[in-house]
Structure 1
């Protein structure tokens, strides 16, 4: 049947199972928005306050569901406003498809009004991007984009559609979405056997887990694998939730703000099994000293990550769920490393996370938050000290319930991502743990929260400074606090209320628990201005260029 390009896009989205899109209209996408209006009973559109908010919302929707998130922006500045969100998704392997409008095909390349080469701009930060100049190619392009976004290592794909392409007509035939198979074409018997032999002969195995386990929905297989090889496990920031925080095998984060237990265990192990992680510089720090006593096995779906940052002894390339299932199948009898596990348990007793600050306020607040939140909550963060505290002090029991910008470190990510998670899970509690520096960047999305009556809780850890930058200035720049003070007198309660959102405050002397409980009991959006001391710090910490076992802010119990 004949359809316009705009109608074809809508039909393809519905065909792919998309129920919600996030965006902001403009001239170059008016035909698409007209088609959305005519199909509002079939697909929901969430109007954000800014295109960056739309990209982060699509990201939060995708991370919290495992489905593809979709966002839409017009040409020129609308398209460029998506760039930060696309780069965030790219660094953290999040499947989103971004649609941008552009000027009509005859006007391309002529510096037309609101024209920008968005495919050129986003080439380094997408798995693939397209510009569709023929309406007859549109349906196949959309279907291909969804496949690329999801298969193998997930990531963002951009489709740029000139305005005239959305108006022209073409034949459209509906299709069922392609069923994607796990990527195993590079999985070899030789690599599996080599990995098994290393595992069988190890006396002190350690597993370092990344976000790839969550993306592959392989947490159950990982749990069985840890039992089979009798190994402790640490995670990157992106891997938080892949192993339950309550598991006796879990040692916490690894790397710059990792636990002393994790960092010592990585340094002491004789075999490090790295699963779905990329050896980020924030984990590795001094590369020549990383896991210096261990042979390293790297298991990942993306061959480009093998030996990119750290040279490994053995690698297994393939879908993590498939690889872990096969490894579990081949381990006939669970192994025992009693002495090693006892040593790790002793590390845990000796090196609890130290809270070295004017007070233990950040820990106290987050523990109180945990105590009042229902099961299945989603914790979203901005970027900074509060992000690390949320990773350290909250108990993360389920994969995909901790949403944070790890690779790009995007301040302003959390509010949009919380919107996406809340829209995807209307009955769940979603809390955005924010810093005042990050929140001020995209606090305009309070308008979106209010418009759609989303019961998002924003816990604003307000120290009136760029806390993480100030921490570095304190430790490494002789307390020269250049442009990090945020002591402008902003009344966050009044700001929230101006948007129609409830505002509350927790002072430095308040018991946080009853206030947090009251906020949750309201069942609506609340901004909680939570005062914390200006010099609360995130510890432990590895100084730049140091080995990960050389940590600042660590004390042994009894010292």
Structure 2
């Protein structure tokens, strides 16, 4: 059958199993939106307040489900407003397809109204991108884009479609989506045996697990590996919910704001086993900081092998598939002396109960946890509150922690919360925010209210850009240059102005009642949680310092 480009696009999206699009209409995508109107019973379109919110929502949808998130924007400023969200997804390896409109082909390259070279702009922050020059290629491009977004190391793909392409006609035939095979074609027995030999010989192994565990769904295999070799395990920020936190060998997050146990063990182990993670500068990126440990690195992306840390042995391939084959080659082991050291260091992670009567991050997450039966999904903005959530909350299920890691995008959390809540209607999504981050994209409250999404936003209100202020306090002799906000914004009234509910918490004794009311509410809620602006995230490793050179609250106070 012969269909317009807009019809081919929508039918191809249905072929790929797309049920939700996050977007914002405009002139260059009018034909596409006209077609979406006809198919509104099959594809739900969520009208966002801003295109950046659409990209973050598609990202949150993908992180919550493992499926490809889809966002749609018009040409020019609509397309460029997606860029931060696309970069966020790229840095964290999130499968997304971003669709943009553009001016007709005869106007390309002429500085036409609302024309930008969005494929040129996004080339460094996409796995691949396309500008459709021939309608005959449109269906094939859409099919390829979804395959590329999911295959290997996931990531965002952009499709730019000139407006005249959406009006032209071409033949369309329904196509089955191209099947994504787990990437193990380069996996050899020799590689497996080399890695297995190093693990079997190690007395003091330590596992550093990253976002690849989530992307590959290697949760059961990771637990089996830990139990078989009795290795302590730490996770990166991107893998916070990928391993049971109550497991006796779990030592917490690793890195700049990681736990003392994780950071010290990484420097004392004789074998560091890196699984689905990259050695970035917020964790370990300097070979000398690993001391005398050998390194095993397993990752699906060959570009990450030996990029920052030289590996003594490595395997390139899908983590779940690799672990399934590797575990059978490993001997069961248990070094009591090493495990005693692990327990000794884990005692350093215990949160001291110093009740001064003030509202604290620890208190908030302790109370929130009392309401969680495993149903909560926690999204975050970026800053101190993000680290507090990662450190203090007890995550019970995979994909229950959604946060911007590699790019550190302030303003990310609310859009991501909308995407996650739309995707998983039976879960309860709670966005942890700082007053600085929340101010960036609080306009998306209008989207949550319009769609009656029961998202709870908890704002750590410390009247400052808390993480930047912390750096100024520690490294800039307390010169607080433009990090004190002093804004007159009333977050309770703001929530009500958008049509939601708002609460303010000043006292500990009020929190339980406020959380109870918020969770009973069927629509969006904002909770203004007032904390002291001098409260810091500890422990901390200074930029460029060795991972075991830990700054603690005791160091500062003494």
Match of 1:395 in 2: 394
TM superposition shift of 1:366: 1.3
CA deviation map 1:63-87 (0-9, x unaligned)? 0000000000000000000000000
Match of 2:531 in 1: 532
TM superposition shift of 1:357: 11
CA contact (8 A) 1:356 1:553 kept: no
CA deviation map 1:279-309 (0-9, x unaligned)? 1100016x14322121000000000000111
Match of 1:260 in 2: 260
For 1:307-346, list aligned pairs within 5 A.
307-331=306-330, 333-346=331-344
TM superposition shift of 1:397: 2.0
For residues 512 and 59 of structure 1, the distance between their equivalents in structure 2, rounded to whole angstroms, comes to 31
Aligned pair 1:140/2:140, yes or no?
A: yes
CA contact (8 A) 2:359 2:507 kept: no
Instruction: Give the secondary structure class of the aligned counterpart of 2:290.
Output: coil
CA deviation map 1:53-102 (0-9, x unaligned)? 00000000000000000000000000000000000000000000000000
For residues 509 and 372 of structure 1, the distance between their equivalents in structure 2, rounded to whole angstroms, comes to 16
TM superposition shift of 1:350: 3.8
Match of 1:274 in 2: 274
TM superposition shift of 1:429: 0.4
Instruction: Give the secondary structure class of the aligned counterpart of 2:399.
Output: coil
For residues 455 and 407 of structure 1, the distance between their equivalents in structure 2, rounded to whole angstroms, comes to 28
Structure 1 segments, 4+ long, off by >4 Å, are: 353-360
For residues 354 and 211 of structure 2, the distance between their equivalents in structure 1, rounded to whole angstroms, comes to 29
Instruction: Give the secondary structure class of the aligned counterpart of 2:34.
Output: helix
CA contact (8 A) 1:353 1:540 kept: no
For 1:419-438, list aligned pairs within 5 A.
419-438=418-437
TM superposition shift of 1:509: 4.9
For residues 485 and 219 of structure 2, the distance between their equivalents in structure 1, rounded to whole angstroms, comes to 41
Aligned pair 1:482/2:488, yes or no?
A: no
Match of 2:96 in 1: 96
Instruction: Give the secondary structure class of the aligned counterpart of 2:315.
Output: strand
TM superposition shift of 1:34: 0.2
Match of 1:553 in 2: 552
Unaligned runs of 5+ in 2: none
TM superposition shift of 1:179: 1.7
For residues 236 and 214 of structure 1, the distance between their equivalents in structure 2, rounded to whole angstroms, comes to 11
Aligned pair 1:217/2:204, yes or no?
A: no
TM superposition shift of 1:349: 1.7
Instruction: Give the secondary structure class of the aligned counterpart of 2:237.
Output: coil
For residues 544 and 355 of structure 1, the distance between their equivalents in structure 2, rounded to whole angstroms, comes to 29
Instruction: Give the secondary structure class of the aligned counterpart of 1:85.
Output: helix
TM superposition shift of 1:524: 2.3
| TM-score when normalising by structure 2 | 0.97
* Corresponding residue pairs, total: 555
For residues 32 and 522 of structure 1, the distance between their equivalents in structure 2, rounded to whole angstroms, comes to 36
CA deviation map 1:11-70 (0-9, x unaligned)? 111101110000000000000000000111111100000000000000000000000000
TM superposition shift of 1:353: 4.8
Query: Bigger shift: 488-497 or 56-65?
Result: 488-497
TM superposition shift of 1:545: 2.1
For residues 351 and 545 of structure 2, the distance between their equivalents in structure 1, rounded to whole angstroms, comes to 19
For residues 545 and 172 of structure 2, the distance between their equivalents in structure 1, rounded to whole angstroms, comes to 59
Instruction: Give the secondary structure class of the aligned counterpart of 1:160.
Output: strand
For residues 155 and 349 of structure 2, the distance between their equivalents in structure 1, rounded to whole angstroms, comes to 37
For residues 444 and 362 of structure 1, the distance between their equivalents in structure 2, rounded to whole angstroms, comes to 25
Instruction: Give the secondary structure class of the aligned counterpart of 2:225.
Output: helix
CA contact (8 A) 2:83 2:122 kept: yes
For residues 235 and 46 of structure 1, the distance between their equivalents in structure 2, rounded to whole angstroms, comes to 33
Instruction: Give the secondary structure class of the aligned counterpart of 1:529.
Output: strand
Match of 2:491 in 1: 492
Query: Bigger shift: 87-96 or 505-514?
Result: 505-514
For residues 121 and 350 of structure 1, the distance between their equivalents in structure 2, rounded to whole angstroms, comes to 46
Match of 1:207 in 2: 207
For residues 120 and 375 of structure 2, the distance between their equivalents in structure 1, rounded to whole angstroms, comes to 40
TM superposition shift of 1:255: 1.1
TM superposition shift of 1:241: 1.0
In structure 2, the CA distance between the partners of 1:523 and 1:337, relative to structure 1 (3 Å rule), is farther
Instruction: Give the secondary structure class of the aligned counterpart of 1:255.
Output: coil
TM superposition shift of 1:516: 1.0
For residues 193 and 30 of structure 1, the distance between their equivalents in structure 2, rounded to whole angstroms, comes to 57
CA deviation map 1:245-296 (0-9, x unaligned)? 11111100111101110011101100010000001100016x1432212100
For residues 129 and 46 of structure 1, the distance between their equivalents in structure 2, rounded to whole angstroms, comes to 24
Aligned pair 1:235/2:235, yes or no?
A: yes
Unaligned runs of 5+ in 1: none
In structure 2, the CA distance between the partners of 1:166 and 1:17, relative to structure 1 (3 Å rule), is same
Match of 2:125 in 1: 125
TM superposition shift of 1:447: 0.5
CA contact (8 A) 2:360 2:531 kept: yes
For residues 555 and 483 of structure 1, the distance between their equivalents in structure 2, rounded to whole angstroms, comes to 27
CA contact (8 A) 1:357 1:535 kept: no
CA contact (8 A) 1:354 1:554 kept: no
Instruction: Give the secondary structure class of the aligned counterpart of 1:273.
Output: strand
For residues 523 and 71 of structure 2, the distance between their equivalents in structure 1, rounded to whole angstroms, comes to 25
In structure 2, the CA distance between the partners of 1:314 and 1:255, relative to structure 1 (3 Å rule), is same
For residues 35 and 322 of structure 1, the distance between their equivalents in structure 2, rounded to whole angstroms, comes to 41
CA contact (8 A) 1:508 1:532 kept: no
RMSD, aligned α-carbons? 1.5
